[in-house]
Amino acid sequence: MTDPKPKTGYDLIQSQLRGLGTGPGVYRMLDAESRVLYVGKARNLKARVTNYARPGNHSPRIERMIGETAAMMFLTTRTETEALLLEQNLIKQLKPRYNVLLRDDKSFPNILVSREHRFAQIKKHRGSKTERGDYFGPFASAGAVNRTLNQLQKVFLLRNCTDSMFESRTRPCLLYQIKRCSAPCVGLISEPDYAAAVSDAADFLSGRTTHIQTALAADMEAASQAMEFERAAALRDRIRALTQVQTAQGINPRGVAEADVIALHVDGGQACVQVFFIRANQNWGNHDFYPRISGDEDLSEVMEAFVGQFYSGREPPRQLLLSHGLDDLELMAAALAEKAGRKVEILVPQRGEKAELVSGAARNARESLARRMSETATQGKLLRGLAEAFDLDAPPRRIEVYDNSHIQGTNAVGAMIVAGPDGYEKGQYRKFNIKGEGLTPGDDFGMMKEVLTRRFQRLLKEDPDRQSGQWPDLLLIDGGAGQVSAVQQILTGLGVEDVPMVGVAKGVDRDHGKEEFHRTGARPFALAHNDPVLYFVQRLRDEAHRFAIGTHRAKRAKAVGATPLDEVPGVGAGRKRALLAHFGSAKAVARANLADLKAVDGISDAMAETIYGFFHAQD
């Protein structure tokens, strides 16, 4: 007797109804390979799944999803708010094909006024907020932070040097000479006066600027009356810099102290979401996102998916100003409030200043999407030209470009960049620390072999059926016939013989524009010097080179600043700083006796014994 055919589609969904309750929860639809197709949440799980079990009245996207469904998974929650939060976390983690998906989930930088030192440091910060101090942000980009920091240094003269550099100074640095720092490192400003400047900077970043300008103006007038013209001129320059900061912010809403302005525009099956960050009544920049959609979703569905995923990993502001409503606005507000631990208000303004802000964001979203669609069309043309030039079966959707960087074999790294129909996919870039013990310094063949071996061994292990979209359609290698032959041997040894590969050599004169292209079993050839495809390949190679060099420099800089103290268990940045300040060098710490180690501020007796034992284990 043969086994009955497994249920799929409507039959499968209908069979799930009997065991479902009427409470809230999250459901997942899976295909025959157990890949998650869709993640959804429901106030009433049984009612929601029943809707899927009834043919008709579904969009083409949902019909396709139901047809592919071969299994379902369910997870009940106590509340619908809990279900919403869980749904968004699962979407980010699993990236289901039929969900609206936020693809660019970058973190945004902040300005940190660090309180780790008695003379506070002002600097850019990205990542978790573990350092003690005041955080201001988010800013839309590192450029927006750097511009603001540049102006703040002119106004408040706060230091941005590291604590170790601060402690080692014996005379003012260049920043003092160009009036960007008050030189607290050498005592040219008292601790109370510096603390007052720090307080003013924090007030400015919090939107409280009136009293700062008033105080500076009064000080300038007093200096002028006292005929201290040099000091008066310096104060005048600070007032001017403060004014430049305020005017450079662009949109400075008076009635909106803290909000994210989010506008959506959809056209031609593509979506753009523009987010403006308003903090302290100032515009701290904007960023555009291009969520993955199928084109038949409601605008409210796209907006709800974006808001849920965007704030699943970051703290929401007190207000969200949206261009389109959500299916359940109150539920989303409750979920964000639960996450933030305070009230979060979500508005879809129709008039007044808030509506103008949303209108401006919507205009930016519309223009950004038009530019992207134009760039995508150009990119598609280049990919078709690339397929024709290299005899590919179809335009590549994933191009991987590899390069190495090192100095005489030291701090060697390999780099991989990825490009496709949407341009560079920076979230897919990878770096490889070269680990080969037996490599000869400067052995580029050996380095490339290690990088390609590690890359494709992982692909073969994690996605042998090539279903995830992570397999390349084309490999570009920096090098000529030798590199191509070596890479081909690597791939053949791994059983990968169907991935096209091209070596890009600089040509006889090693001139930009005279590149030669090498393929296995074919004669080298060149493209016309004005061929757009040639420029495209040059840009890809240069991007890989840039990424490889940047990765190498970061590794080299880390190695330069490394000390044996980095390997001692329990010694972090604070204890390392205390030990170096007390002994002067890591070598002196290693030679110190136990009693001297115990005398260091911040080093307990147990930690002193750990440090002593680490350096004297052989004794």
Q: Are 563 and 583 in contact (CB under 8 A)?
A: no
Question: Would you state the structure tokens that stand for residue 314, as one six-digit string?
Answer: 């970051």
Instruction: Please give the Cα distance from 457 to 447 (Å, whole number).
Output: 15
Burial (CB count <10 Å: 0-12, 13-18, 19+), residue 359? middle
Question: Would you state the structure tokens that stand for residue 561, as one six-digit string?
Answer: 């600043």
Instruction: From residue 379, give the alpha-carbon distance in Å to each of 117, 271, 283, 382, 514.
Output: 50, 18, 33, 5, 23
Segment among 46-50, 333-337, 373-377, 543-547 with least mean pLDDT: 373-377
pLDDT at 28: 95
The conformation of residue 19, written as its DSSP 8-state character, comes to G
Instruction: Please give the Cα distance from 16 to 19 (Å, whole number).
Output: 6
pLDDT at 41: 93
Whether pLDDT at 1 is above 50: no
Burial (CB count <10 Å: 0-12, 13-18, 19+), residue 307? buried
Question: pLDDT tier at 308 (50, 70, 90 boundaries)?
Answer: very high
Instruction: Compute the CA torsion angle 373, 374, 375, 376 (nearest 10 deg).
Output: 50
* 560 alpha-carbon distance from chain centroid: 26
pLDDT at 339: 87
Instruction: From residue 476, give the alpha-carbon distance in Å to each of 432, 526, 530, 543.
Output: 17, 15, 20, 12
Question: Would you state the structure tokens that stand for residue 438, as one six-digit string?
Answer: 């037996």
Average pLDDT (119-126) is 90
Instruction: Compute the CA torsion angle 211, 214, 217, 222 (nearest 10 deg).
Output: -100
pLDDT digits (tens, 9 = 90+) for 418-444: 999 888 888 889 988 887 666 666 667
Instruction: Please give the Cα distance from 560 to 551 (Å, whole number).
Output: 14
Whether pLDDT at 273 is above 90: yes
The conformation of residue 469, written as its DSSP 8-state character, comes to S
Instruction: Please give the Cα distance from 538 to 366 (Å, whole number).
Output: 31
The conformation of residue 542, written as its DSSP 8-state character, comes to H
Instruction: Please give the Cα distance from 298 to 607 (Å, whole number).
Output: 60
Average pLDDT (144-171) is 84
Helix (H) or strand (E) holding 378: helix 352-389
Instruction: Please give the Cα distance from 155 to 147 (Å, whole number).
Output: 13
Average pLDDT (239-261) is 69
Please tell me which of 251-260, 464-473, 572-581 the model is most confident about, judged by mean pLDDT: 464-473
Whether pLDDT at 323 is above 60: yes
The conformation of residue 2, written as its DSSP 8-state character, comes to P
Average pLDDT (478-500) is 86
Instruction: From residue 420, give the alpha-carbon distance in Å to each of 99, 272, 397, 401.
Output: 21, 19, 5, 11
Instruction: Identify the residue whose tokens are 């639809």.
Output: 29
Question: pLDDT tier at 408 (50, 70, 90 boundaries)?
Answer: low
pLDDT at 617: 67
pLDDT at 360: 92
Whether pLDDT at 344 is above 80: yes
Instruction: Please give the Cα distance from 330 to 291 (Å, whole number).
Output: 23
pLDDT at 346: 95
3-state secondary structure 290-346: CCECCCCCCHHHHHHHHHHHHCCCCCCCCEEEECCCCCCHHHHHHHHHHHHCCCCEE
Question: Would you state the structure tokens that stand for residue 536, as one six-digit string?
Answer: 């495209």
Closest CA to 212 of 198, 227, 226: 198
pLDDT at 410: 64
Question: pLDDT tier at 320 (50, 70, 90 boundaries)?
Answer: very high
Kindly give, in sequence order, each residue whose CB lies less than 8 Å from that of residue 435, ignoring residues fewer than 6 positions away. Answer: 450
Question: pLDDT tier at 170 (50, 70, 90 boundaries)?
Answer: confident
pLDDT digits (tens, 9 = 90+) for 33-50: 888 999 999 999 999 999
Average pLDDT (134-154) is 84
**Domain annotation for the chain: domains and CATH numbers:** 9-94 (3.40.1440.10), 110-248 (no CATH), 258-371 (3.30.420), 399-559 (3.30.420.340), 564-615 (1.10.150.20)
Burial (CB count <10 Å: 0-12, 13-18, 19+), residue 405? buried
Whether pLDDT at 213 is above 50: yes
3-state secondary structure 266-298: EECCEEEEEEEEEECCEEEEEEEECCECCCCCC
Question: pLDDT tier at 247 (50, 70, 90 boundaries)?
Answer: low
Would you say how long the chain is, in residues? Answer: 619
pTM of the model: 0.73
Instruction: Please give the Cα distance from 586 to 293 (Å, whole number).
Output: 55
pLDDT at 248: 47
- Top pLDDT among 572 and 193 is at 193
Q: Are 362 and 263 in contact (CB under 8 A)?
A: yes
Question: pLDDT tier at 509 (50, 70, 90 boundaries)?
Answer: low
Whether pLDDT at 372 is above 80: yes
Instruction: Give the whole-number percent of the chain exceeding pLDDT 90.
Output: 31
Closest CA to 172 of 163, 182, 162, 164: 182
Instruction: Identify the residue whose tokens are 């662009």.
Output: 250
Question: Would you state the structure tokens that stand for residue 427, as one six-digit string?
Answer: 């979230």
Question: Would you state the structure tokens that stand for residue 359, as one six-digit string?
Answer: 């209108």
Average pLDDT (377-381) is 89
One-letter identity of residue 369: L
Question: pLDDT tier at 242 (50, 70, 90 boundaries)?
Answer: low
φ, ψ for residue 76 (rounded to 5)? -85, 150
Whether pLDDT at 567 is above 60: yes
Question: pLDDT tier at 75 (50, 70, 90 boundaries)?
Answer: very high
Kindly give, in sequence order, each residue whose CB lies less than 8 Å from that of residue 506, ignoring residues fewer than 6 positions away. Answer: 512, 514, 515, 516
What is the maximal distance between C-alpha atoms in the chain? Answer: 107
Instruction: Please give the Cα distance from 46 to 22 (Å, whole number).
Output: 5
Count of Cβ atoms closer than 10 Å to residue 119 Cβ? 18
pLDDT at 375: 83
Closest CA to 322 of 291, 354, 351, 364: 354
State the average pLDDT for the chain: 85
Instruction: Give the whole-number percent of the chain exceeding pLDDT 70.
Output: 90
Instruction: Please give the Cα distance from 306 to 326 (Å, whole number).
Output: 11
Instruction: Please give the Cα distance from 32 to 259 (Å, whole number).
Output: 44
Question: pLDDT tier at 588 (50, 70, 90 boundaries)?
Answer: confident
Q: What are 206-210's contacts with CB under 8 Å, separation 24+?
A: 206/136, 206/280, 207/257, 207/279, 207/280, 207/281, 207/282, 208/280, 209/242, 209/246
- Top pLDDT among 31 and 56 is at 31
Average pLDDT (478-497) is 86
